[in-house]
Chains A and B, each alone.
Chain A
Amino acid sequence: MSSVSTGNSAEDIAAQYLKKHGFKIVNRNWKNRYCEIDIIASKQDRIFFVEVKYRSSRKWGNGLDYITPSKLTQMQFAAKNWIQSNKYNGDYTLSGMAVNAEGVEEFVEEILC
């Protein structure tokens, strides 16, 4: 499986998971020339910017281990880009989801920056 199709199917799993947990999918693979966001979801008047990390095996660690401080800075930058281009002025959260071959391993609704 190519990394693109792996990424897509991991995002499908992530989107399904979010829907089953009461989230509305606002955008998938939102991007502009500077940045991109895997999934943008909403729930109870809050927007969640979700970074999806796929790892085929646990031996490489939990996917969320790969959300480094510099990745968080990129996520924050991308979130602000989306907020600006959509003129959104509500609450938002940066979230992370680890997906493996068996499904969703972990979903962290609010990553503390």
Chain B
Amino acid sequence: MNSVIGIDEVGRGAWAGPLLVVAVRNKGTIPSKINDSKLLSANQREALMEGIIDNCAIGEGWVRVEEIDTLGLADAMRLGVKKALEGVGARDDETIIMDGKVNYAPQCYFNVQTIIRADSSVPEVSAASVYAKVLRDNFMKDLSLRHPEYHFESNVGYGTKKHQKAIELHGITKWHRRSFKPIKNIERIQQ
């Protein structure tokens, strides 16, 4: 049977926190009602997690802040996709469907398709999207316990006015992406 691996990422545009790429291969029946993670509530996403874990093989590709700052975003994406595909044990000839326009998979995977909005049309990509969002959101929630002043539990590292004010007030942490323009700008003003 030809299996399909769906890939999606979360945290690409965030000012803080890691980038997470997830690869999902369906082994059973992906829960129905699965859709783009961004259209579901946090509770709906968490409720879908068990079904995803029970029915799918999953590979996680975490890319750390210092890797994002060193590599740049495009290569960080490539690293995340590589780790996720290795994690799920992808074969070179497997069909891989990636959300978006750019193929970030290593060249050895020769059957890659990029589909815009695949996170709402391909169940494997939807599952990857939900799984990635739940994991990264929970990672940022954990981080907010150590750094409550940045409100990571609500902004999950993304740029908001409140987040910007918190950085101006409390400084830049090791969790912030110094290579990103808004963080660079704050750093420059503070020097």
Distance in angstroms from B56 CB to nearest chain A CB is 11
A44 adjacent to B135 (CB under 8 Å) = no
Distance in angstroms from B173 CB to nearest chain A CB is 19
What is the count of residue pairs linking A and B with beta-carbon distances less than 8 angstroms? Answer: 30
A24 adjacent to B54 (CB under 8 Å) = yes
B134 adjacent to A20 (CB under 8 Å) = yes
Known A44-B58, A44-B60: A19·B87 in contact at CB below 8 Å = no
Known A44-B59, A44-B60: A21·B135 in contact at CB below 8 Å = yes
Q: Which of A20, A43, A44 contacts B49 (CB 8 A)?
A: A20
- B residues less than 8 Å from A22 (CB atoms): 49, 53, 58, 60, 131, 134-135
Distance in angstroms from B20 CB to nearest chain A CB is 10
Rounded to whole angstroms, the CA-CA distance of A111 and B88 in the bound complex is 24
Rounded to whole angstroms, the CA-CA distance of A85 and B77 in the bound complex is 41
Residue B46, interface by CB 8 Å: yes
- B residues less than 8 Å from A21 (CB atoms): 135, 138-139
- A residues less than 8 Å from B87 (CB atoms): 44
B49 adjacent to A19 (CB under 8 Å) = yes
Rounded to whole angstroms, the CA-CA distance of A83 and B110 in the bound complex is 38
Residue B50, interface by CB 8 Å: yes
B53 adjacent to A20 (CB under 8 Å) = no
A20 adjacent to B138 (CB under 8 Å) = yes
Q: Mark B128-146, 1 if CB is under 8 A from A, else 0.
A: 0001001100110010000
Distance in angstroms from A107 CB to nearest chain B CB is 8
Residue ID in chain A nearest B142 by CB atoms: A104
- A residues less than 8 Å from B89 (CB atoms): 45
Rounded to whole angstroms, the CA-CA distance of A43 and B138 in the bound complex is 16
Distance in angstroms from B80 CB to nearest chain A CB is 15
Q: Which of A20, A44, A45 contacts B46 (CB 8 A)?
A: A20
Distance in angstroms from A19 CB to nearest chain B CB is 6
Distance in angstroms from A11 CB to nearest chain B CB is 17
Rounded to whole angstroms, the CA-CA distance of A45 and B49 in the bound complex is 17
Distance in angstroms from B67 CB to nearest chain A CB is 19
Rounded to whole angstroms, the CA-CA distance of A69 and B60 in the bound complex is 31
- A residues less than 8 Å from B131 (CB atoms): 22
Distance in angstroms from B71 CB to nearest chain A CB is 23
Rounded to whole angstroms, the CA-CA distance of A21 and B89 in the bound complex is 20
Distance in angstroms from A35 CB to nearest chain B CB is 27
Q: Mark B68-98, 1 if CB is under 8 A from A, else 0.
A: 0000000000000000000111000000000
Rounded to whole angstroms, the CA-CA distance of A45 and B58 in the bound complex is 9
Q: Please list the residues of chain A having a beta carbon within 8 angstroms of any beta carbon in chain B.
A: 19-24, 43-45, 104
Given contacts A21-B135, A44-B88, 5 further A-B contacts (CB under 8 A): A19-B50, A20-B49, A20-B135, A21-B138, A22-B134
